[in-house]
Amino acid sequence: MSLRIEAVSKVLGGRTIVDSLDLEVETGQLASLLGPSGCGKTTTLRMIGGFLRPDAGQVLIDGQDVTAIAPERRPTAMVFQNYALWPHMTVFKNIAFGLKLRRMPRDEIRSRVEDVLRTVNLLHHIDSHPGQISGGEQQRVALARALVLEPKVLLLDEPLSNLDAKLRERVRDDIREIQQRVGITTVLVTHDQDEALSISDKVAVMTGGRIDQYDPPSTIYRAPRTRFVADFVGTMNLLRATVHDDHVATGDVKIPVRGAALGVEGEWDVGVRPEDVRVSPSEGAPAQVARVIPRGHYTELVLMLGEQRLRAFVGPGSGDDLPEGATAHIEISRALLYREGLLHQA
C-alpha cells in the first residue's frame, strides 16, 4: 500500500471530527473521500498532508510513519480548493516556487517546470499570469505546482468546486487522465458523487467521522452496504414495505419483483434504484403519476403508492408519455433490503 491510515482520530472544538478511521490506498490508485459537509473528509485529508496532527492513530506512506513529520518534509503535495496561486507571479514562477525553496539548480528547475507544463498541456502559458488564463487552466497550474515536487501522494481538496458545471466535467476528466498517465497515488476530497464515481478507483463514503463503505464505484452504486450510503449515493427509493418471496407490499399495493426471489419475508426498508422500476400501461401494481420531469435522454416519473413516493427513470416508449394524474403500472427488477441500517446479504 502506498498510503495507510490506521485508527486515526481528531477532536476539534470539543467535537470528534474523525473517529478511529482506517484507510488504505494502493500505489497508483485514485481514492475519493465522499460525504456531506462536516463528515470529516477534509480533516482526514489535512492529517494525511500534515496540516493537522491526529490525536490518535498513524499515517504511513510506503510503510514509513509520517504522523509527526511536518507538511513540507512529507512526500505529499496538496492542491487546494481555491488554487492558492500568487497573482503577481507568472505560471512559471508559481510552479517553480517549491523547487526554489529546495535550492535546486536553475537549469533543473527550468527543465522540470517545462516538463510538468507539457504534462498538463499548458507550456504555451509559461509566462502568463493567473489572471490571464481561465479557471480550468488555473486549476491545471495548481496541479502542475503539486506534481513538479514529485510527491508519492497527491492530495486534492475539492479541486473543482469553483468551476461551472461544464468546465468542471472537462477538468475532472483532465485530472483523471493526468493522474493515470503519471501513475501517482491520489486522494480526492469531494461532496459531489458524480465526481467521485466517475474518476475514482475506490470511493470511501464517510459519515460522522467514519467510513461507511470503501469500494469501487460500481459496488458503491449497485450494492450500498448501509442505508446511509444507499440514500447518499445516486437516487434511491427507500420504501418501508413488507417483503414476500416474489413481491413487496406497501399498504394495499403489491409490487411484483421480477427475476430472482427475494428469499426473505417481513418488514424491511426496501431500496430500489429508479432505473430498476419498470413502467407499463397495464402490467404490475397501480401507481398514480404525480409528476413528469423531462431529463433529456430519459424521463423521470414521480409515482405515488398510497402515501409513499417512488421515482422511476424511463426511456422512450416505456411510460414516458403518461400524463400527470394518470395511473401507471409498475414492477421492480431489482431490490435491496435493509434492516437496522445494514444491507441484507442474500
175 and 205 in one domain? yes
Confidence of residue 45 (pLDDT cuts 50, 70, 90): very high
Confidence of residue 247 (pLDDT cuts 50, 70, 90): confident
| 275's grid cell | 432505473
167-214 tens-digit pLDDT: 888 888 888 998 999 999 999 999 999 999 999 999 999 999 999 999
> Angle of helix 91-101 relative to helix 106-119, nearest 10 degrees?
130
323 and 216 in one domain? no
pLDDT recorded at residue 322:
86
Tell whether the model's pLDDT for residue 46 goes beyond 90.
yes
| 189's grid cell | 476530497
pLDDT recorded at residue 306:
84
pLDDT recorded at residue 260:
62
Percent of the chain with pLDDT over 90: 69
pLDDT recorded at residue 1:
67
Mean pLDDT of the chain: 91
Q: How far is CA 168 from the centre of its chain?
A: 14
Alpha helices for the chain (secondary structure H): 41-49, 91-101, 106-119, 135-147, 165-182, 193-199, 217-222, 227-232
DSSP string for 11-40: EETTEEEEEEEEEEE-TT-EEEEE--TTSS
90 and 25 in one domain? yes
Final residue belonging to a domain, choices 201, 231, 261: 231
308 and 162 in one domain? no
Q: What angle do CA 263, 248, 214 make, to 5 degrees?
A: 65
217 and 261 in one domain? no
Tell whether the model's pLDDT for residue 223 goes beyond 70.
yes
- Which among 235, 236, 314 is positioned nearest to 269, based on CA atoms? 236
Final residue belonging to a domain, choices 231, 254, 288: 231
pLDDT recorded at residue 81:
81
87-145 tens-digit pLDDT: 999 999 999 998 988 889 999 999 999 999 998 889 999 999 999 998 889 988 999 99
> CA distances (Å), 79 to each of 34, 87, 293, 318, in order?
17, 16, 38, 45
Final residue belonging to a domain, choices 190, 211, 231: 231
Tell whether the model's pLDDT for residue 222 goes beyond 90.
yes
304 and 218 in one domain? no
268 and 182 in one domain? no
Confidence of residue 253 (pLDDT cuts 50, 70, 90): confident
289-305 tens-digit pLDDT: 999 999 888 999 999 99
Task: Residue 309: give the domain boundaries.
Answer: 235-343
10 and 22 in one domain? yes
Confidence of residue 346 (pLDDT cuts 50, 70, 90): low
For residues 156 and 145, give the distance between their C-alpha atoms in angstroms, rounded to a whole number: 12
239 and 214 in one domain? no
118 and 201 in one domain? yes
What order of strands is seen across the sheet that includes strand 247-250? 253-256, 247-250, 237-243, 266-272, 336-339, 342-343
- Which among 204, 150, 203, 144 is positioned nearest to 175, based on CA atoms? 144
For residues 272 and 334, give the distance between their C-alpha atoms in angstroms, rounded to a whole number: 7
Overall domain count for the chain: 2
98 and 71 in one domain? yes
70-97 tens-digit pLDDT: 998 999 999 988 878 899 999 999 999 9
| Structural element, H or E, at residue 210 | strand 210-215
**CATH number of the structural domain spanning residue 305:** 2.40.50.140
Percent of the chain with pLDDT over 70: 99
For residues 178 and 140, give the distance between their C-alpha atoms in angstroms, rounded to a whole number: 10
CB 190 within 8 A of CB 158: yes
CB 78 within 8 A of CB 31: no
300 and 151 in one domain? no
**CATH number of the structural domain spanning residue 86:** 3.40.50.300
Question: What would the mean pLDDT of 212-222 be, rounded to a whole number?
Answer: 96
DSSP string for 304-330: EETTEEEEEEE-TTTTTTPPTT-EEEE
Strands 308-314 and 299-305, how do they pair? antiparallel
